[in-house]
Amino acid sequence: MPRPPALLALLLLAACGGSDAPTVIDGSSQEAYDRTLSEAKRELGPQDRLKFEAALAEFRAQMFAEADDRQDYKRLVREGMDGLTAPRIVSEFNRNVDKAGKDAADALFDAKRAIVGRRNPDGE
Protein backbone atom coordinates (compact mmCIF):
# COMPACT_ATOMS: atom_id res chain seq x y z
CA MET A 1 0.00 0.00 0.00
CA PRO A 2 1.56 3.35 -0.99
CA ARG A 3 2.10 5.86 1.77
CA PRO A 4 0.77 9.41 1.45
CA PRO A 5 3.50 12.01 0.77
CA ALA A 6 2.86 13.87 4.04
CA LEU A 7 3.37 10.71 6.07
CA LEU A 8 6.58 9.96 4.17
CA ALA A 9 7.85 13.46 4.90
CA LEU A 10 7.11 13.06 8.61
CA LEU A 11 8.85 9.69 8.72
CA LEU A 12 11.88 11.16 6.99
CA LEU A 13 12.02 14.08 9.41
CA ALA A 14 11.72 11.74 12.36
CA ALA A 15 14.53 9.53 11.06
CA CYS A 16 16.82 12.49 10.38
CA GLY A 17 15.86 14.51 13.43
CA GLY A 18 18.43 15.22 16.09
CA SER A 19 18.53 13.75 19.50
CA ASP A 20 16.82 15.44 22.42
CA ALA A 21 19.90 14.80 24.53
CA PRO A 22 21.59 18.00 25.74
CA THR A 23 24.90 19.09 24.27
CA VAL A 24 27.89 17.78 26.18
CA ILE A 25 30.56 20.42 26.68
CA ASP A 26 33.81 19.29 25.04
CA GLY A 27 36.90 20.63 26.78
CA SER A 28 39.42 18.83 24.58
CA SER A 29 40.39 22.06 22.78
CA GLN A 30 39.52 25.75 23.01
CA GLU A 31 37.65 25.59 19.68
CA ALA A 32 35.59 22.56 20.76
CA TYR A 33 34.91 24.17 24.14
CA ASP A 34 33.74 27.47 22.63
CA ARG A 35 31.49 25.71 20.10
CA THR A 36 29.87 23.25 22.52
CA LEU A 37 29.49 25.86 25.26
CA SER A 38 27.59 28.10 22.82
CA GLU A 39 25.42 25.16 21.71
CA ALA A 40 24.69 24.22 25.32
CA LYS A 41 23.66 27.80 26.18
CA ARG A 42 21.29 27.98 23.21
CA GLU A 43 19.42 24.94 24.50
CA LEU A 44 18.39 26.74 27.69
CA GLY A 45 15.40 28.94 28.33
CA PRO A 46 15.90 32.49 29.64
CA GLN A 47 15.64 31.65 33.35
CA ASP A 48 17.95 28.65 33.16
CA ARG A 49 20.39 30.61 31.00
CA LEU A 50 20.72 33.20 33.79
CA LYS A 51 21.41 30.44 36.30
CA PHE A 52 23.89 28.85 33.92
CA GLU A 53 25.72 32.16 33.47
CA ALA A 54 25.84 32.68 37.25
CA ALA A 55 27.24 29.18 37.80
CA LEU A 56 29.76 29.68 35.00
CA ALA A 57 30.89 33.03 36.44
CA GLU A 58 31.40 31.47 39.88
CA PHE A 59 33.34 28.55 38.39
CA ARG A 60 35.51 30.88 36.31
CA ALA A 61 36.30 32.93 39.43
CA GLN A 62 37.38 29.77 41.26
CA MET A 63 39.61 28.75 38.35
CA PHE A 64 41.08 32.26 38.15
CA ALA A 65 42.13 31.95 41.78
CA GLU A 66 43.90 28.66 41.01
CA ALA A 67 45.52 29.60 37.70
CA ASP A 68 49.12 30.77 37.28
CA ASP A 69 48.57 32.52 33.94
CA ARG A 70 45.99 33.08 31.18
CA GLN A 71 46.71 29.79 29.41
CA ASP A 72 46.48 27.86 32.66
CA TYR A 73 43.19 29.62 33.44
CA LYS A 74 41.67 28.71 30.07
CA ARG A 75 42.83 25.11 30.44
CA LEU A 76 41.40 24.80 33.94
CA VAL A 77 38.03 26.17 32.82
CA ARG A 78 37.89 23.87 29.76
CA GLU A 79 38.91 20.79 31.70
CA GLY A 80 36.54 21.58 34.56
CA MET A 81 33.56 21.92 32.21
CA ASP A 82 34.49 18.94 30.03
CA GLY A 83 31.73 16.33 29.93
CA LEU A 84 29.08 18.49 31.61
CA THR A 85 25.76 19.58 30.15
CA ALA A 86 23.95 22.86 30.69
CA PRO A 87 20.98 21.17 32.45
CA ARG A 88 23.37 19.43 34.87
CA ILE A 89 25.11 22.74 35.64
CA VAL A 90 21.76 24.47 36.23
CA SER A 91 20.61 21.59 38.43
CA GLU A 92 23.75 21.85 40.56
CA PHE A 93 23.28 25.61 40.76
CA ASN A 94 19.72 25.09 42.05
CA ARG A 95 20.95 22.59 44.68
CA ASN A 96 23.64 25.02 45.84
CA VAL A 97 21.16 27.90 46.10
CA ASP A 98 18.71 25.73 48.06
CA LYS A 99 21.48 24.61 50.42
CA ALA A 100 22.69 28.17 50.93
CA GLY A 101 19.15 29.26 51.75
CA LYS A 102 18.71 26.47 54.28
CA ASP A 103 22.13 27.18 55.82
CA ALA A 104 21.25 30.87 56.12
CA ALA A 105 17.91 30.05 57.76
CA ASP A 106 19.62 27.70 60.23
CA ALA A 107 22.16 30.43 61.06
CA LEU A 108 19.35 32.91 61.72
CA PHE A 109 17.57 30.49 64.03
CA ASP A 110 20.85 29.81 65.87
CA ALA A 111 21.35 33.56 66.32
CA LYS A 112 17.77 33.98 67.54
CA ARG A 113 18.25 31.18 70.09
CA ALA A 114 21.49 32.76 71.26
CA ILE A 115 19.85 36.15 71.72
CA VAL A 116 16.70 34.84 73.39
CA GLY A 117 18.54 32.16 75.34
CA ARG A 118 16.55 29.22 74.05
CA ARG A 119 18.05 25.89 73.36
CA ASN A 120 18.01 24.03 70.06
CA PRO A 121 15.16 21.47 69.98
CA ASP A 122 17.84 18.80 69.52
CA GLY A 123 19.20 19.71 72.94
CA GLU A 124 22.28 21.52 71.65
pLDDT at residue number 89 = 93
pLDDT at residue number 11 = 45
Q: Which residues contact 69 (CB under 8 A, 6 or more apart)?
A: none
pLDDT at residue number 13 = 45
* Residues 106 and 121: beta-carbon distance below 8 Å: no
pLDDT at residue number 15 = 45
Running along the chain, 124 residues long, what does each successive block of 10 average in pLDDT? 49 52 96 97 95 94 96 96 95 87 81 74 57
Statement: the pTM of the whole predicted model exceeds 0.85:
no
pLDDT at residue number 123 = 55
- Which of 62, 95, 86, 87 is closest to 76 using CA atoms? 62
84 phi, psi to nearest 5 deg: -90, 160
Distance CA 50, CA 47 (A): 5
